[in-house]
Structure formats: structure tokens, C-alpha cells
Amino acid sequence: MDAIARAQQRIEDAAAGRTDPAAFDATLERARHAVESLAATTARFEAGLPEAIQDGLRQHFRPSARHLAEVRGLTNQVIRRLERIEGDILTERHARVDDLTLLVDLIASGWRSVEERLAKRRGTADEARGGTGARRRRRLPPRGSSSRRLRDPRR
């Protein structure tokens, strides 16, 4: 409180126009000393502050950098696994297409076999009924031969 009273007294004295040259010189000397002290402190901060900021940032972001590197590694691992899975799926798809092709070929050959057997059976059935196809024509005597038999159509 004493300092405030002195400061008010000096302000009143300065306002009255009465400046004491000794007090003025003393104040000016204290101000110069304070400015020099401030300049020295500023120089120390300017010299050490950037390094301190960099150290602080390194310490702060070092774990983040490690985490980021770990995430990158895991991402690359996931990409490699996905590519391998994609290759496996593609190989499996080609194998299924090959299996389907084989199955279609087997079914087609099976149906051809069934059709051939049915055709043979039809031929045998035609022969048993006296058939009308190429088999019957082969059994007929040559045209112009007199040994043709006439058949009864009711048989």
C-alpha cells in the first residue's frame, strides 16, 4: 500500500509541474536497468525456447508417430492378406468353372449314351414289330427279284 501512495504522490507532483531532477534520474536509471534485464531474459528465451518447443513436440508426438507407424504396418499387412484372399477366391472360382464344365460334359455324354441306347431299342422294337426303317429294307430281297412274299396286313 505504501508503494501505491508513493506512486500517487509522484503523479500529483508531476501534474503540478514540479519534477524533481534527482527523482527523475533515479526513475530513468531504474527503467534502463529493467529494460536491460528484460533484454537479457528475452535473449535467454530466444536461445532456449525453440529447442525447448522442439523437445516438447518430440515428446508429445513420439507416441503418436509410433502409433502411426504401427497403423501403417497393420494396414500393409491387411492389404497383403486381402490380396492373398482375392487370389485364393479367383483360383477357387476358376476351379468351380472347370468343375462345372466337366459336369456339363459328363451330363451331355450321358444323354448322348441314353439317346443311343434308346435309338437301338427303337430299332430292336421296330424289328420285333416288323419295323419300317433301314433295318427292314436290308432284309428285303433286292428289287427285281421274284421271290417276294406277300404278307397278310392283319398280322
pLDDT tens digits along 87-118: 999 999 999 999 999 999 999 999 999 999 99
The predicted pLDDT at position 18 comes to 61
pLDDT greater at residue 154 or residue 110: 110
pLDDT of residue 140: 54
- Provide the mean pLDDT of the chain: 81
CB of 148 closer than 8 Å to CB of 141: yes
Percent of the chain with pLDDT over 70: 79
Q: What is the pTM of this model?
A: 0.38
- For the stretch 19-25, contacts whose Cβ atoms lie closer than 8 Å and that sit 24 or more positions apart, written own/partner, are none
For the ranges 3-7, 18-22, 132-136, the lowest mean pLDDT is seen at 132-136
Answer whether 71's CB lies under 8 Å from 63's CB.
no
The domain locations on the chain are 23-129
Cα–Cα dist 125/135, whole Å: 11
